[in-house]
Structure 1
Amino acid sequence: MIIAPKRVAEDTWSRESSKWNHTKHLRISKILGDAKKREAALKADADIYVINRENVQWLVGFLGSKWPFDTVVIDELSSFKSSSAQRFRALKRVRPLMKRVIGLTGTPAPNGLLDLWAQVYLLDRGERLGATVTGYRDRYFSAGAKSGHVVYEWKQKKESEERIHEQIADICISMKAEDWLEMPKRIDRIVPLVMGDKARAQYEQLERDLLLPMAGSDIVASTAAVLSNKLLQMANGAAYDEDRGVREIHDIKLDALEDLIEGANGHPVLVFYAYKHDLSRIKERFKQARTLDTADDIAEWNDGVIPMLLAHPASAGHGLNLQAGGNIIVWFGLNWSLELYQQANARLHRQGQTQSVIIHHLVAEGTIDEDVMAALEGKAIGQDALMAAVKARIERVGGDVCDKDS
């Protein structure tokens, strides 16, 4: 049984297995679609069964104690990093029925070593890091920021990283592609964008209206995330209002994207967007753009049929092989997730790529874009960097108003 992200389950495993002489004879059954199709795929005579991770809970409920798969491969194991998630709990119930579990991921601890417990538990049933996440936390971490009994931050104890790595070293192996493969050159480019006076005034007014009410307040992670989302939308050129309508602010990113498309001279471009209104505005400007929705889209991109492919990093950030289709990436809208950022870039910068990969980042000057870009370049952990950036912007806006009043 192979458990993978949906698009990877639909396309990648079957496509890749057909390329190799020692695997092309294997029969693959895809447990996808509605319940009737999934049940039929389970009954099919096959060597390998592939299912998307969203259907793991259904699979466990359907099979129960009759779980037949002695070997399970979890593609993108980090998607099981939460010990409270239903998919983890479901797989944990049938873990004793599996003889062998293999986990694959390029980002095992995207937010810190706390993420490792659930993933390693699925490999060894708690033998190395303990039977419970509570015991793991108590052994290797100490409570940081908290409110009452609720802990918002766990800090590593001294030498925890070394001790954890020693515990799991016999069953985990880490390899960097560049250490073993001839990887193409990667060129990262920041494209600074300056708003016109009118757009700048409108942006700054909206930012003040959004942030000033928070001046002097304690900012928690959830509030910071909401504020950051709104600021990032505004930096991209539009934002949702209270009625979920879209208020357009500027077109500087659309104009910059147009320049980059023209500068590509006909070479395919992969564009990562952040919000639905980003997607709508890009599609309205660029009629040739296609969205990454199905396995056919992947095939056509890799065949060079699609000149401009639009994808959200959360849906295209894991496992997809897109390197045959192009070598140019444009980040229209950024996000705080280092994991998604790294995984999305690896869709083109990976084994099999024959050209230098150029990654353009559209960054609106004077906006939160600059904070996100700095965090990603410094490989900062998302939530900590997000909180610091939002607090700094609130202080700046509050200071600007005080200066004007005085």
Structure 2
Amino acid sequence: MRILAKHQRTAFYYSKTVSHPAYFLDMRLGKARLTIFDILSNNTLPALIVGPYSALYGWKQELINTFNVDKNDIHLIHGTKKQRQESLFNQSPFQLVNRENHLSFPEIVNKKFKSVVYDESTSLKNPTTKMSQHYTKGYRDVDRRYILTGTPMPESELDIFQQLKFLDPKILGFKDYWHFRHELFIKYDAHSYCISETGLKFLTDRVSKFCITISQADAGLYNKVVYERRVFRLSNKTMKAYKNLCKNFVLQYDNIMVATDYNVSKYSLLRQLCSGFILNKSVYGDTIKPIDGTKLEVLKDLLLGELKNSKIIIWAVHTFELHHIGLLLDRLKIKSGMISGTVSINERDSLINNFQGNKIQVLYCQPECLKYGATINKADVTVYFSSPLGLETRLQTEKRMNNPYVAEVDLIIDLTAEDTIEEVIVDSIIRKESKQETLLSMSKHIRGKAV
């Protein structure tokens, strides 16, 4: 039990009292570690772990680093349809899959698992989606199902029905979402419902009996920095261009061709690809359009999901990245402000004051612009859309959200393209390597890709 913190042990003891655990633990409280510990304790293997692709990296690292699971015992289900079909015959005890996998590989529901874990279970809340229907109808003969989220009811008590239906339909006992809504909720306009007093009493009783909820305050988790990664895969087309650039010093993508003889230029082009861009004015002029929107989609999922009500600082190295982050925030109608090299000192101060004063939710910035002196300690989370290469700049930007006089947890999230120099950069930062050491590590990565 030493592997678990006190609050995780509390949750583990709870899990012994239910057939299918619901871990409603705040971010940063170690839901993955707790779940793996429970699976191993009950020997309910093989286990299928379902979640957003960007979260699966964290599961893999937890399995390897905390539980010493051999990497060959962890299978990530992805790739072509044929490769996914072959996964039906894979015998690895831990199998990880993106939650949208059902669209291209519905047959997975027929594979025999003893445990199925659904991470970030609020994505099941809409009963009309194919994803929600797939998971609530399938996996019924599994010994142990788990749901994990820090925000089980982000918008309404209605959000919890499909999650608990996946877990165990007997918990709420209603035939479907619409019967649940009809019996326990009151319609107050054309499309809106609020829970009745009877409904609230019933739901509170059910959740308290079958789920466990632990906040950061409950866990006594303060004054810590927690690092997380959201890892994603670039499209096959983008990765092909990436590998060709590593090998031949030439970037080819559709009608774009950029040749370079210099490693520094190559690093810059590779980093652009990781964020989904090619900076080529001869093709695009001054309008830089994303060629691969995967990283922006990962950011969008965070903003609409687990960071929905958080105050956020987003760091991005390039102005074209900031531009498209701004467009995304505008589309999502999130109040925000941008600080780049073109923003005056007075405007920067005004934006920071607005952020500190809760007039805007998101501040997105170039690292060099707020490297020193700025206090942005009202932020709950720091997200690196792209990380500065230098260790000093990175550490200085990390400190912008720190408030030494308040007991709190600082969460730092890196958006990282899998199997690219972005992973090398973040690894180097964690090891606190110098910029020169990081460049050497990047060179080694590129040589490996060129083989």
TM-score, scaled to structure 1? 0.49
TM-score, scaled to structure 2? 0.45
